[in-house]
Structure 1
């Protein structure tokens, strides 16, 4: 008897395979991978369960499901991750954008007028940019911004540049790119009104607590710091010099150490510090204003 080759059959078989491999949401992942392959909205799979897959589609789908069974993240398999209103290209040289970072962008998007008014032209730096999700989103969302993206990794900047070219840019906004270890390669005269950053902030001592999907595939350079407080002292002190008067620094960081970072910031010259909660009520973001 010939094995079925329609969508429902492959979803069932793939779900069973991923479940045996210990993948947390096997059916959902099987659906996302197939909907991406077929260029079909996931919800529409349910209306086309009897549609057969071609020989090539079957081959590619099986390869991708095997990759997922090895805990390769779905975003790296499909090469994209939705973030805010856009789809970002991602590969193993950049972190997969997280919902918390999306919240950081959303918070600034909703609150920037309170700092700079309606018409001010503001200079924004996305420090440790990775895929460019923070800076490129804001470059498309806000009317009066000049945006710089910087990262230590040349490979990450290549991904960010690709996203700049492919994400819709109706206002044809220019974005500037800098390869730098924090602010090391920045021109002395270059300063900003806003610095936003999701830097590496997981202490290396917590490495073994991460899921296999993260630990085996995502770039450790963007995840871990050997010396959490030493790294952040450098970041905060150098950022202070690069922020214009009345400018702000908005930082995503480790909830367990954010109170200490707030105290550190006050000793480095930031008198106005506020801790913001993420949607899980964790102390996730540090807002610093330079008076």
Structure 2
């Protein structure tokens, strides 16, 4: 018969086990995996330290521990990740939403609020939408705004779009978002759309850096991570097409990699974007870049 371990005992053993496998967030991961399994908040693990686990709970938890020991991300094991205080379903078809991307959502939310007094309608496009975290969060953040907003999410992956649609259903905003399949801005061209705001967290890991990534990233879709030209391949395409497709005073907002702020900034300048601004993440690393389409008519 399986040993009747208590919550306290199994968390201690799991934390030590994870540390042996080089997992830096050993205690946190042990707690998140167990709290999700028991369907309780993490804080409630502490007030139930002496509760014995059933044989089934121990067996199921061990399966999760085995997966994490192989460096499978916690989000893929439990099936969701929190972003902007919302839960998003994730699997290996989509990139796991990161806290740094919240800066992009917050920046675009502020831009939309600033436009509310002089616009009656806006179209916001989220390229490479993946799980839909960005566009769905924008719908939720801007729920009370006075202007009409058309929300569009695009992705080259049908499997990713299926997850985005499921997340939109989960957060009761499916009727507010149009999801289109296609490469970068191609769906926008095909549907003759004229976005006022274009937002994207495109692939930006340089090819020669991909094999050196932390083991967890090997589980995430390579198509959502890797880019040629030292990581700026997709920025170049997005920015070049955006100068033609954005509305006259359109806004572009991009998440950028650790080493790409100068390259992306210069691409925006070369393509006549103005009022450029860079926002740092919590680690004081440049993470978001914003720009406005020039009104001088140059393309």
TM value normalised by structure 2: 0.90
Q: Which residue of 1 aligns with 2:121?
A: 121
Q: Which residue of 1 aligns with 2:150?
A: 146
CA distance in 2, matches of 1:116, 1:255: 32
Where in structure 2 are the equivalents of 1:55-66 lying within 5 Å? 55-66=55-66
Q: Which residue of 2 aligns with 1:271?
A: 274
Instruction: Write the deviation string for residues 111-131 of structure 1: whole angstroms up to 9, x where unpaired.
Output: 422234387332111110110
Mean CA deviation greater in 60-69 or 107-116: 107-116
The answer on whether the counterparts of 1:139 and 1:146 sit within 8 Å (CA) in structure 2 is: no
Q: Which residue of 1 aligns with 2:98?
A: 98
1:164 paired to 2:168:
yes
The 1:118/1:35 distance shift into structure 2, 3 A limit, reads farther
1:107 paired to 2:107:
yes
The answer on whether the counterparts of 1:147 and 1:176 sit within 8 Å (CA) in structure 2 is: yes
CA distance in 1, matches of 2:46, 2:234: 49
The answer on whether the counterparts of 2:4 and 2:55 sit within 8 Å (CA) in structure 1 is: no
Instruction: Write the deviation string for residues 2-54 of structure 1: whole angstroms up to 9, x where unpaired.
Output: 83322112112211221221211211111000000111000110000122222
The 1:19/1:194 distance shift into structure 2, 3 A limit, reads same
Kindly tell me the number of residue pairs found equivalent between the two proteins: 288
The answer on whether the counterparts of 2:202 and 2:234 sit within 8 Å (CA) in structure 1 is: no
Q: RMSD across aligned C-alpha pairs, in angstroms? A: 1.9
Q: Name the SS for the 1:256 alignment partner.
A: coil
TM value normalised by structure 1: 0.93
The 1:10/1:151 distance shift into structure 2, 3 A limit, reads same
Q: Which residue of 2 aligns with 1:223?
A: 225
CA distance in 2, matches of 1:5, 1:92: 32
Instruction: Write the deviation string for residues 221-244 of structure 1: whole angstroms up to 9, x where unpaired.
Output: 111102234432211111222211
Instruction: Write the deviation string for residues 237-285 of structure 1: whole angstroms up to 9, x where unpaired.
Output: 1122221111100001124222222222222232332222222222221
Q: Name the SS for the 1:272 alignment partner.
A: strand
Q: Which residue of 1 aligns with 2:176?
A: 174
Q: List alignment gaps of at least 5 residues for structure 2.
A: none
Where in structure 2 are the equivalents of 1:11-26 lying within 5 Å? 11-26=11-26
Match of 2:289 among 280, 286, 291: 286
CA distance in 2, matches of 1:78, 1:232: 32
Q: List alignment gaps of at least 5 residues for structure 1.
A: none
The answer on whether the counterparts of 1:249 and 1:288 sit within 8 Å (CA) in structure 2 is: yes
Q: Which residue of 2 aligns with 1:209?
A: 212
CA distance in 1, matches of 2:135, 2:264: 23
The 1:153/1:2 distance shift into structure 2, 3 A limit, reads closer
Mean CA deviation greater in 68-77 or 250-259: 250-259
Where in structure 2 are the equivalents of 1:256-267 lying within 5 Å? 256-267=259-270
